[in-house]
Amino acid sequence: DQQVKQNSPSLSVQEGRISILNCDYTNSMFDYFLWYKKYPAEGPTFLISISSIKDKNEDGRFTVFLNKSAKHLSLHIVPSQPGDSAVYFCAASAWSDMRFGAGTRLTVKP
Amino acid sequence: SQTIHQWPATLVQPVGSPLSLECTVEGTSNPNLYWYRQAAGRGLQLLFYSVGIGQISSEVPQNLSASRPQDRQFILSSKKLLLSDSGFYLCAWSVSLTNEKLFFGSGTQLSVL
């Protein structure tokens, strides 16, 4: 069962523009959400997270938005840089149960 | 600082052969340890997690097993590999089990032929 879905397998944006990566979840028990970034032949690295008591968390160029009523979260990268090109995984957690989406491959073109 | 080591980086094994992937964590004590697998086009699937030496929880019944012989060592094994065991295997650790970010190793790309 896919409790966390990233419906866009890939996204391409121009350098300097905004990148918006989306994630939907089905389990209303999830209360903590994370984004990971993965380069080829490397393990994912933690990028940013948000608790269900918030609707926004910002860290530099990265902002995560949470819409609990829609069970939707998104990651905004502004401005996008070529070094941001990677696969981004969304994850949702309830207690010790962490589920991952299938990932979105972001390509930032110079 | 904490580091996680996972090896080998790539592995090609024939069907029916055994498997042993090893993961070690440095710079922390009593970490929670995890094995994940990513099949092509799929998300990361949790296979096993461990909260302490000799304590293994299995999330997906299958052809694989895990062991934790030492506090910072986590091993993924199989007696006989299947074609469907191919994938990208990731070891990870965290400070706690609940709502905690994971620190991943660099992964092992396993191809079963």
Residue from the list B4, B42, B104 with its beta carbon closest to the beta carbon of A44:
B104
Q: What is the pLDDT of residues B70-105, one digit of tens each?
A: 999 999 999 999 999 999 999 999 987 676 789 999
Q: What is the pLDDT of residues A44-83, one digit of tens each?
A: 999 999 999 999 999 999 999 999 999 999 999 999 999 9
Mutate to test the interface with B, among A36, A66, A96, A99 (most CBs of B within 10 A): A96
Q: Which of B68, B69, B65 is nearest to B79 (CA)?
A: B65
Give the three-state DSSP class for B84. helix
pLDDT at A1: 60
Separation of alpha carbons B3 and B10, rounded Å? 20
Cβ neighbours for A1, distance < 8 A, ≥ 6 positions apart:
none
Residue closest to A24 by CA, chosen among A81, A90, A80: A90
Q: Flag whether pLDDT at B61 surpasses 70.
A: no
